[in-house]
Amino acid sequence: MLTVLVLFSFMSTSFASARSLATCTCIHFNVSGAFQTPNYLSPRPLQNTCLLYSFMAPADHIIEAVFDTFEFSPRMESCVDFLRIFDGTIDGSIDERTAHNGEFCGKEIEPGRKFISLTNHLAFHVQFSGTTRGFRGVHKFISNERFRQNATEIQPCRYSIDAAEGNIFSPQYPHFYPSNANCTYFFPVRKSRKILLKLEFLDFRPLSCSTDYIDIYQMHPKIHLDKLCYDSMPPYSLSSKNGFIVEFHSGSNERSKNRGFHFWFKYVREDEATQAVPLAHSASHAQIDSKSLCPVRITSPSMSSGTDAVISAEKGIINSSLYSVPD
């Protein structure tokens, strides 16, 4: 890991939260590797150290940072020690007027939590006194090629599928999807072919079925087939020789910052065998009585839904209601 330390020595204020970023020690990362606070695991007062972690990936790449541990002083009315994340800057430059995308202290970042940049720049502004363990994590640079839509944008967030096989994503994926989005994906009919649509990943705002959801329609004639919400998850697939229309709608995602969805699709011969996996029992539409506080989703070839669901298949999958498979 190539790391360069640059210390800017300009006049600072006496208040940590108002400290000029020009006084901070800047740590640059331009290859994948690990990051951590000074004296990690060996708490020692550092006289309110101000640090800037600047991650710069190659062009056409994004940055994924995953925290192994995070332990700062607990939040009172506000954070004393903190980590602020800037994940959408064009050139990596930030100053006191730049709005951050999240401020964390205490143990507010759980082990394994992932942050993904919107551009090829990611920055952390860290105020750290050294009285706690601090944090440690790993980062890597990921090519944007993995997340390109195999579709043509015919109008803003309206896509026509031309490829025989590929992927579609929610806007900004794998970064969090924008608020108040309305997007449509058209899968046209092809002669002697049927379309197989498979859900690979879904992460929507919890308890948001009225605002954050996917409607799936048959194209010709237009018939509503299914609605996917926060509690829908792989394995799930549909196939049709009459085309599909997929509509994505979102409410506010400023606070929860959920990542959206990823579908894989393929046009196959009409006579080619495909096994569509039905959507498992959905907690968002379930009749839940007082004895069922945590509905369980069951996916198997044979099932009966409800609070006393019975599995009659030899094999299957049982997931908790909010389970999500990492993409």
Q: Flag whether 244 is in a domain.
A: yes
What pTM did the predictor assign?
0.74
Backbone angles phi, psi at 16, to 5 degrees: -60, -45
Q: What is the mean pLDDT of residues 226-253?
A: 96
28 and 133 both lie in a single domain: yes
Question: 242: which 2 tokens?
Answer: 């009459």
Q: Domain containing 132: what range?
A: 21-144
86 and 49 both lie in a single domain: yes
CB 84 within 8 A of CB 103: yes
More confident residue, 135 or 325: 135
Q: Flag whether 198 is in a domain.
A: yes
106 and 195 both lie in a single domain: no
Q: Flag whether 324 is in a domain.
A: no
Q: Flag whether 61 is in a domain.
A: yes
Strand-strand pairing, 182-187 and 158-160: parallel
Q: Flag whether 321 is in a domain.
A: no
135 and 166 both lie in a single domain: no
Q: How many domains does the chain have?
A: 2
Predicted confidence band of residue 326 (pLDDT cuts 50, 70, 90): low
pLDDT tens-digit map of 131-145: 889 999 999 999 999
163 and 252 both lie in a single domain: yes
**The pLDDT of residue 275:** 60
99 and 34 both lie in a single domain: yes
- Looking at 97, 123, 144, the residue that finishes a domain is 144
pLDDT tens-digit map of 48-99: 689 999 999 999 999 999 999 999 999 998 999 999 999 999 998 998 899 9
d(CA 105, CA 81): 6
Q: Flag whether 137 is in a domain.
A: yes
Helix/strand/coil (H/E/C) assignment for every residue in the chain:
CCEEEEECCCCCCCCHHHCCHHHCEEEEECCCEEEECCCCCCCCCCCCEEEEEEEECCCCEEEEEEEEEEECCCCCCCCCCEEEEECCCCCCCCCCCCCCCCEECCCCCCCCCEEECCCCEEEEEEEECCCCCEEEEEEEEEEHHHHCCCCEEEECCEEECCCCEEEEECCCCCCCCCCCCEEEEEECCCCCEEEEEEEEEEECCCCCCCCCEEEEEECCCCEEEEEECCCCCCCCEEEECCCEEEEEECCCCCCCCCCEEEEEEEEEECCCCCCCCCCCCCHHHCCCCCCCCCCEEEECCCECCCCCCCECCCCCEEEECCCCCCC
Q: Flag whether 314 is in a domain.
A: no
137 and 161 both lie in a single domain: no
Backbone angles phi, psi at 182, to 5 degrees: -140, 105
pLDDT tens-digit map of 154-181: 999 999 999 999 999 999 999 999 999 9
More confident residue, 21 or 277: 21
CATH number at residue 192: 2.60.120.290
128 and 206 both lie in a single domain: no
Predicted confidence band of residue 267 (pLDDT cuts 50, 70, 90): very high
190 and 76 both lie in a single domain: no
Specify the amino acid at residue 86.
F
- Looking at 94, 121, 144, the residue that finishes a domain is 144
CB 128 within 8 A of CB 135: no
Q: Flag whether 221 is in a domain.
A: yes
CB 278 within 8 A of CB 249: no
More confident residue, 297 or 98: 98
The alpha carbon of residue 96 and the mean position of all alpha carbons in its chain are separated, in whole angstroms, by 27
**The pLDDT of residue 42:** 76
